[in-house]
């Protein structure tokens, strides 16, 4: 079975078989006590077994009491088994995925390079953090690392499921490699950044196996509520026995056990763990490593989303499309100096400037400038360039940065510069201003494109109350143009790393949860500060270590879908909790009249379902309580379908569908079961 087939198939025969075995193993009381609601059901099962052996232990009387007690015990046993099965199914899907991932984690050999460049063949398990390894065509990359030299195609299908190889190179946006992937052309020198056993593949395996899963705060809070409801009903049932005896109503212990099990929230108690595991599973199958369940859950509560422009909102391939000379500068001089400043610029923008110069007939000898000092771009200076050996200083960068530099050097700003910058900015492009010494030569027009379909996604987010903010190093005019085209709610222009942190802090100060994406070392502080930080797998190690989620496909726009998965998790949990508690209303009308009708005939008025006999009513409610759990497993696994809408509308919809439905479905189900089992109850002469 292919990975895509495995992802699309809800359950296989193998998973079902293993889940059944696991469901029996989970019956161990030491495990069951972790789920207090179902633990009470299991205790009820043991009490019913004892009453089957000693039917008159508490002075109970009735026809074929032993048979009635054993029927109750069997139904309770099946109820616990179904709850365990639901959890085991969720775990089984994760384990099945983990098995396929483990096949990619091979104990391969690695070509370890020493300080002299000599190759030593060692086991991949012996490679330590900081080691340099050589990987050539056909080699498996031994562990996660950063490319320090070379360019090659890497097959990442074992991790991402995508068959098309990805081009990896030193110094670019794709300088990070993942252990377990395969080089399919050329060669790379990789500096290993993690120790064996701590790679992202290892973390992913641990995640999908459930080994690292902890209950989220919302899950703990809901579990506390369920335990509280269970204790309340337990107290009610315990006090009901003497009160009924005082009123002359004799209630059998097994009937009280059945009443307790039907009234406590067994449905959500049995499915709660499965919902959490399935939520993590959905994120993992989306090729995202969530380092905690809390991160997934936080996605569902996000109020503000901070997004980088380049690569997220736009394609990120800002390519030079035009040279615009200003003042008295000549086109030929502008092209020449633009190319010289970009000869060692490994960014897509820098390479495109050289390429555009070639197309326009200007090609320079790289060797002539290889001894020059090339200055890399930084977020602080917002410019890059080169210092030539003859003393010539060339810079290219943001308009404001270059203008400030020229003013400091005593140069003049060309009168038509601002007009050229604005023309590029209004078109949604990025203007790069080129200067030599204290003279500005012109503007390079870097063209980028907003990704199609993003505007519709931002509308969906706006409908559910999420504000989107775009961060960009572009000037305000360019930023405003792109923001308007993309449909984001706000933008931060000329953004530095500290500006991102301030934006996150300001939103959090208003009590909002913030999500953001990033891939660079300068994004790491903001990723760590955000409530949900999604780092790209192609990004730097610092970014991945700072974030609480890592996207193996390196698609920054995926955070939009991840937020929806988080909301789906919360909605599913809330919807099934509503359904479970609403169930109790119908079961109340089934069991309470059945208990008291014999002694108090007027209670028959509450038998709105028209159930045949007291014992058929009790058993019908108990059977429905058991079978509803496996019937809801598909919803728990796949999640309630998410529709973007305001929280008030979402609450109203869930109350109608799952609240009202939670009351209607049991009325119908219990009545049908009563019609089916009534002949059996009468044949056994129970009561």
* Cα 532 from Cα 181, distance rounded (Å): 27
308 an active-site residue? yes
Task: Please check if 186 is assigned to a binding site.
Answer: no
Residue 378 marked in a binding site = yes
* Vertex 417: Cα angle to 414 and 422 (nearest 5): 160
Nearest to 299 by CA among 92, 58, 549, 508: 549
- Find out whether 510 is annotated in a ligand binding site: no
Contacts for 34 with CB less than 8 Å, ≥ 6 apart: none
On whether 519 is known to bind a ligand per the annotation, the reply is yes
If you write DSSP's letter for every residue of 150-173 in order, what string do you get? EEEEEE-HHHH---S-EEEETTST
Q: Could you tell me the maximum CA-CA distance found in the chain, to the nearest angstrom? A: 110
DSSP string over 576-597: HHHHHHHHHHHHHHHHHHHHHT
- Residue 567's closest CA among 476, 668, 463? 463
- Which pair of structure tokens corresponds to residue 359? 């197309």
66 known ligand binder: no
Spatial separation of the C-alpha atoms in residues 214 and 197, rounded to whole Å: 20
377 in a known ligand binding site = yes
Side-chain half-sphere CA neighbours of 516 within 13 A? 33
User: Nearest to residue 450, comparing CAs of 471, 477, 476, 481?
Assistant: 481
Find out whether 419 is annotated in a ligand binding site: no
Among the listed residues 170, 172, 100, 171, the one whose alpha carbon sits nearest the alpha carbon of residue 135: 170
First to last CA, the chain: 54
User: Mapped to the 3 state alphabet, what secondary structure does 187-213 carry?
Assistant: EEEEEECCCCCCCHHHHHHHHHHCCCC
Buried b (16+ CB within 10 A) or exposed e, 33-57: eebbbbbbbbbbbebbbbbbeebee
Residue 382, annotated as binding a ligand: yes
Helix H or strand E segment including 435: strand 430-436
The answer for 639, left when phi > 0, alpha when psi is -120 to 50, beta otherwise, is: left
User: Which residue in 105, 69, 203, 220 sits closest to 686, CA to CA?
Assistant: 69
- Tell me whether residue 643 is annotated as binding: no
**Three-class HEC string of 633-674:** HHHHHHCCCCCCCCHHHHHHHHHHHHHHHHHHHHHHHHHHHH
Q: Which residue of the set 202, 308, 448, 531 is catalytic? A: 308
Nearest Cα neighbor of 547 from 565, 571, 567, 523 is 523
Query: ∠372-378-379 over CA atoms, to 5°?
Result: 160
| Known binding-site residue numbers | 345, 349, 377-384, 396, 519, 523
| Known binding-site residue numbers for Mg(2+) | 519, 523
Task: Report, as residue numbers or ranges, the catalytic residues.
Answer: 308
| Known binding-site residue numbers for ATP | 345, 349, 377-384, 396
């Amino acid at each position: 079975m292919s990975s895509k087939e495995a992802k699309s198939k809800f359950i296989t025969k193998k998973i079902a078989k293993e889940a059944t075995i696991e469901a029996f193993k989970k019956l161990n009381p030491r495990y069951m006590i972790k789920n207090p609601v179902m633990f009470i059901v299991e205790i009820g099962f043991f009490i019913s077994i004892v009453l089957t052996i000693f039917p008159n232990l508490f002075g109970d009387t009735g026809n074929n009491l032993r048979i009635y007690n054993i029927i109750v015990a069997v139904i309770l046993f099946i109820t616990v088994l179904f709850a365990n099965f639901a959890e085991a199914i969720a775990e089984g899907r994760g384990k099945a995925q983990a098995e396929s991932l483990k096949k990619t984690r091979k104990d391969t050999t690695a070509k370890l390079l020493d300080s002299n460049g000599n190759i030593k063949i060692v086991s991949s398990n012996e490679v330590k953090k900081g080691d340099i390894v050589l990987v050539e065509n056909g080699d498996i990359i031994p562990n996660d690392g950063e490319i320090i030299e070379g360019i090659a195609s890497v097959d990442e299908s074992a991790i991402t499921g995508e068959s098309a190889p990805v081009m990896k190179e030193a110094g670019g946006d794709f300088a990070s490699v993942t252990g377990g992937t395969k080089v399919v052309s050329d060669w790379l020198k990789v500096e290993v950044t993690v120790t064996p056993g701590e790679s992202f593949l290892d973390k992913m395996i641990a995640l999908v196996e459930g080994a690292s899963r902890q209950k989220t705060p919302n899950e703990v809070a809901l579990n506390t509520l369920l335990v509280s409801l269970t204790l309340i009903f337990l107290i009610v049932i315990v006090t009901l026995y003497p009160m009924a005896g005082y009123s002359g109503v004799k209630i059998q212990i097994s009937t009280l056990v059945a009443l307790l099990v039907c009234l406590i929230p067994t449905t959500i108690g049995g499915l709660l763990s499965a919902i959490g595991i399935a939520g993590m599973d959905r994120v993992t199958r989306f090729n995202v490593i969530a380092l905690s369940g809390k991160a997934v859950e936080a996605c569902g509560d996000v109020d503000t989303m901070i997004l980088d422009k380049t690569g997220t909102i736009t394609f990120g391939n800002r390519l030079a499309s035009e040279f615009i000379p200003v003042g008295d500068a000549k086109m030929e001089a502008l092209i020449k100096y633009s190319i010289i400043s970009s000869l060692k610029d490994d960014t897509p923008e820098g390479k495109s400037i050289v390429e555009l110069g070639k197309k326009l007939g200007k090609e320079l000898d790289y060797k002539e400038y290889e001894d020059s000092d090339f200055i890399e771009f930084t977020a602080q200076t917002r410019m890059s360039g080169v210092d030539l050996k003859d003393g010539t200083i060339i810079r290219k960068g943001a308009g404001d940065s270059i203008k400030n530099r020229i003013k400091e050097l005593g140069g003049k700003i060309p009168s038509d510069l601002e007009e050229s910058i604005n023309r590029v900015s209004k078109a949604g492009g990025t203007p790069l201003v080129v200067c030599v010494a204290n003279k500005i030569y012109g503007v390079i027009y870097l063209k980028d494109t907003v990704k199609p379909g993003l505007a519709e996604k931002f509308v969906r987010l706006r409908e559910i109350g999420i504000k989107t903010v775009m961060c960009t190093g572009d000037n305000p005019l360019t930023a405003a143009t792109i923001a308007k085209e993309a449909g984001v709610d706000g933008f931060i222009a000329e953004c530095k790393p500290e500006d991102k942190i301030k934006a996150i802090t300001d939103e959090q100060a208003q009590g909002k949860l913030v999500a953001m994406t990033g891939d660079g070392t300068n994004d790491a502080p903001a990723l760590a500060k955000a409530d949900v930080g999604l780092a790209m797998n192609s990004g730097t190690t610092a970014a991945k270590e700072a974030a609480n989620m890592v996207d193996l496909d390196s698609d920054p726009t995926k955070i939009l879908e991840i937020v929806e998965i988080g909301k789906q998790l919360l909605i599913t949990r809330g919807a099934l909790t509503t359904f479970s508690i609403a169930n109790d209303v119908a079961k109340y009308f089934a069991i309470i009249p059945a208990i008291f009708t014999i002694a108090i005939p007027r209670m028959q008025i509450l038998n709105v379902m028209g159930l045949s006999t007291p014992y058929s009513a009790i058993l019908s409610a108990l059977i429905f309580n058991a079978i509803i759990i496996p019937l809801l497993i598909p919803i728990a696994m796949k999640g309630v379908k998410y529709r973007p809408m305001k929280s008030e509308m979402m609450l109203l919809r869930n109350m109608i569908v799952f609240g009202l439905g939670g009351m209607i479905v049991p009325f119908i189900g219990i009545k049908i079961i009563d019609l089916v089992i009534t002949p059996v109850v009468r044949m056994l002469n129970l009561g």
